[in-house]
Structure 1
């Protein structure tokens, strides 16, 4: 069983990775200055993929921030909906999850 301190360190590491990724995506999106229509079309398609990746990273970052808040409040590892303890196996897969398996399935 991992300690809350270990989980917090893992979440902080993941947060750093996501923040770097978001920054890189922003830089990539700002770097396009193609004048050729064909290149511009390819860049636009790439931009859509990058934007989706950025949105996904931002969503995960929000989940991590919420988990960090629950750690500070002493509520980490407990379902925010029903209050049950979240299974260790679930936290291993989704460390920032706010829900136990039952409540996550009912959503």
Structure 2
């Protein structure tokens, strides 16, 4: 497994998420319209943006945890069973903390 490759991928994704979350925060901080109907639509849009923000923050936490695992030498090992996580799974989800078997057990 090429841990350096995953570190580059994870850090790149973290930078991208940080940039996107800053844009979301800036957009949410602006009041755009004072018309009641338009304001109602704006509030609905803000709820969607807040949902994106929460999902982004959750992904950032998972990425930071993966970077910690890289640092302490446990990256690529399932946090539940300790078995290796397949490289195919890590390519698909570089911050994956569990192997496919443990993921199925959670469902």
Normalised TM-score (structure 2): 0.96
- Matching of residue 18 in structure 1 with residue 9 in structure 2: no
CA-based RMSD: 0.9
Runs ≥4 in structure 1, deviation > 6 angstroms?
A: none
Alignment partner, residue 42 of structure 2 = 43
What is the Cα deviation at residue 33 of structure 1? 4.2
Question: Matched residue pairs, number?
Answer: 106
What is the Cα deviation at residue 42 of structure 1? 0.9
- Matching of residue 67 in structure 1 with residue 66 in structure 2: yes
**Unmatched 5+ stretches in structure 1:** none
Normalised TM-score (structure 1): 0.96
What is the CA deviation profile of residues 67-86 of structure 1, one whole-angstrom value per residue up to 9, with x for unaligned ones? 00000000000001000000
What is the Cα deviation at residue 12 of structure 1? 0.1
**Unmatched 5+ stretches in structure 2:** none
